[in-house]
Amino acid sequence: MIALDALARLCPPPADPPPAVDWAQAERAVGAALPADYKQLVETYGDGIFDDTIWLLVPDSAYSDCDLHVQMTERDEILADLWEVGQEKPAGLLEAGARVLPWAFEEGTGAFLYWLARPGQQPDAWTARLAAALTATGPAVPAPEPAPGPQGPAPAEALTGREVDVLRLIAGGSTNREIASRLFLSEGTVKNHISRILGRLNLRDRTQAALCARDHGLL
């Protein structure tokens, strides 16, 4: 509790305590026990944005965007789609029974934070991964023939040339720092570009942006 006490001094919790979570039920739905420090964080702060930096996912949140179970199902489907078209899985997921579980997403970029849960490993020993670490960072694989009529506005019509460049690099698995270095931009400028890309294409996060780039033949 020492770390949480220090965090609470730096970032005071909301005045009204968040709703109680039925952790036994939540862990049955997830299919695994959850880390103790995550439970403490949820019990102290609840769902929603934390320190204007990340949005914390909580079991059975009143808001689907912040619901751990809803986002876990959605992330599983999106990541499976990316890996199916040729994005390479990180080495940690090649182990039988290994899985990733989302627990938060970043304000502005929509990049998800995941736990890497390995078989036989205690939840408190799980490591955290950013979404970009779950796809290959090497050259993008050729995209399959796009399905007829991809949903949403076409990137070439809705985005500037620079934003299309950023979208391609997102789809290739690059981090904000790598995009900034490649395009000679500051990381703050990259974050602004990503926010505009997500807004103009009606996308939730950079994983959906990668799928959009694939569907429109930008890989």
> End of a domain among 102, 134, 166?
134
Range of the domain at 39: 2-134
CATH of the domain at 210: 1.10.10.10
- The tens digit of pLDDT for each residue in 84-132 reads 777 777 778 888 889 999 999 887 777 888 999 999 999 999 988 776 5
Average pLDDT, the chain: 81
Predicted pLDDT of residue 26: 95
Residue 168 shares a structural domain with residue 98 = no
pLDDT of 177 above 80: yes
C-alpha 144: how far from its chain's center?
Answer: 24
Residue 110 shares a structural domain with residue 76 = yes
Contacts 24+ apart (CB under 8 A), 27-31: 29/59, 29/69, 30/59, 30/68, 30/69, 30/72, 30/101
Residue 198 shares a structural domain with residue 107 = no
- Structure pTM? 0.62
Tally of domains in the chain:
2
Least confident of 32-36, 78-82, 145-149: 145-149
Residue 124 shares a structural domain with residue 58 = yes
How far is the C-alpha of 49 from the C-alpha of 77, rounded, in Å? 24
**pLDDT band for position 147 (50/70/90)?**
very low
Q: Identify whether 146 is part of a domain.
A: no
| Residue 37 CB coordination number (10 Å) | 14
Residue 129 shares a structural domain with residue 164 = no
Region 130-154 average pLDDT: 48
Helices (H), the chain: 2-10, 23-30, 36-45, 68-84, 155-158, 161-171, 176-183, 187-200, 206-215
Predicted pLDDT of residue 101: 92
How far is the C-alpha of 101 from the C-alpha of 45, rounded, in Å? 20
**pLDDT band for position 33 (50/70/90)?**
very high
Residue 118 shares a structural domain with residue 47 = yes
